């Protein structure tokens, strides 16, 4: 399957993989800053943005397959990969498979305990149902500090401080993307993320985690680094589940610092 994608900037390529939400537009808060230094390739996963849904099973494995196929088809062998939330899990799975180069995973899913993943599903499903009901008035609600605080407290450490333009694409994406339900089910009901033995990944691995993340809880970071012993852990202070929302400058610096920039010649 061909993945819809955008390319911005020039330089060493950097592949961005989003989580549940707006597709490639989830990266809008930091896309231009990254593109000042790199050629940024941001994809829409199947069933998100402008990429049609998968015709078969939706799972983390099948979504990762689609990204691995895209890397091969686009001649991006060894590309550095960056993912957030579900996308963070996908880029870690790519690294586990030996695909790509350096890896940056921001608040990745897949490291819940059984109880934590049950709570995750039980809280996120009604949130998605709510934004679908409110879809027509989301621009108005997200245009106010009170509305952002009420709707986004689970996702951001400081929702009142964000702009409507920052958050509206992802919230609309939760409501509109045809794969939202199936991808959520894959996260909740599917297998937990497998790890990669020391020395087996193709490049550096960095895992960034918001200290105030209420979706993938900070204590899950210890499980992630245990399963990926080559990984370096970076904590984002005053940050929830979306570093590109809450700490865009810090997220940009981390991505650029922790991925190889191949200089011409």
pLDDT for 220 equals: 98
User: Topology of 5-257 in CATH?
Assistant: Rossmann fold (3.40.50)
Does residue 156 contact residue 242 with C-beta atoms inside 8 Å? yes
List pLDDT tens digits, range 101-138: 999 999 999 999 999 999 999 999 999 999 999 999 99
pLDDT for 185 equals: 96
pLDDT for 260 equals: 79
Q: Provide φ and ψ at 113, rounded to 5°.
A: -80, 170
Does residue 44 contact residue 51 with C-beta atoms inside 8 Å? yes
Mark out the alpha helices in 142-219 (DSSP H runs). 145-152, 164-176, 180-189
18 or 264, which is more confident? 18
Does residue 259 contact residue 101 with C-beta atoms inside 8 Å? yes
Residue ranges of domains in the chain: 5-257
Bridge partner residues of 103 (DSSP): 81, 205
Q: Is the pLDDT of residue 1 over 80?
A: no
Q: How far apart are CA 220 and CA 33, in angstroms?
A: 29
Does residue 120 contact residue 229 with C-beta atoms inside 8 Å? no
Exposed / middle / buried, residue 173 (Cβ in 10 Å: 0-12, 13-18, 19+)? buried
Q: Residue 39 to residues 43, 92, 249: CA-CA distances in angstroms?
A: 13, 21, 18
Sheet holding 5-8, edge to edge: 5-8, 39-43, 13-17, 80-84, 103-106, 205-210, 232-236
List pLDDT tens digits, range 60-81: 999 999 999 999 999 999 999 9
Length of the chain: 265
Q: How far apart are CA 166 and CA 258, in angstroms?
A: 24
The pTM score is 0.97
pLDDT bracket for residue 265 (50, 70, 90): very low
Q: How far apart are CA 39 and CA 45, in angstroms?
A: 19
Percent of the chain residues topping a pLDDT of 90: 97
Look up residue 178 and give its two tokens. 């045809």
Q: 206, 234, 244: which is closest to 24 by C-alpha?
A: 244
């Amino acid at each position: 399957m061909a993945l819809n994608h955008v390319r911005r900037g020039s330089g060493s390529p950097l592949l961005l993989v989003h989580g549940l939400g707006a597709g490639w537009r989830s990266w809008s808060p930091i896309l231009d800053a990254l593109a000042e230094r790199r050629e940024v390739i941001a994809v829409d996963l199947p069933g998100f943005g402008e990429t049609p849904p998968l015709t078969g099973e939706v799972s983390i494995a099948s979504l990762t397959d689609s990204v691995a196929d895209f890397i091969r088809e686009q001649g991006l062998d060894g590309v550095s990969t960056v993912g957030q939330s579900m996308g963070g899990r996908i880029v870690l799975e790519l690294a586990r498979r030996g695909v790509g180069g350096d890896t940056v995973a921001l608040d990745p899913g897949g490291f819940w305990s059984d109880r934590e993943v049950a709570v995750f599903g039980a809280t996120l499903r009604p949130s998605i149902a709510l934004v679908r009901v409110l879809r027509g008035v989301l621009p108005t609600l997200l245009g106010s500090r009170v509305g952002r605080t009420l709707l986004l407290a689970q996702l951001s450490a400081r929702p009142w401080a964000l702009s409507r333009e920052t958050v509206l694409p992802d919230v609309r994406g939760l409501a509109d993307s045809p794969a939202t339900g199936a991808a959520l089910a894959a996260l909740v009901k599917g297998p937990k993320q497998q790890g990669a033995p020391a020395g087996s990944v193709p490049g550096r691995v960095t895992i960034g985690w918001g200290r105030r993340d209420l979706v993938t809880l900070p204590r899950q970071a210890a499980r992630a680094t245990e399963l990926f012993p080559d990984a370096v852990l970076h904590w984002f202070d005053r940050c929830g589940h979306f570093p590109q929302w809450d700490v865009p400058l810090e997220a940009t610096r981390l991505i650029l610092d922790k991925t190889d920039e191949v200089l011409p010649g």
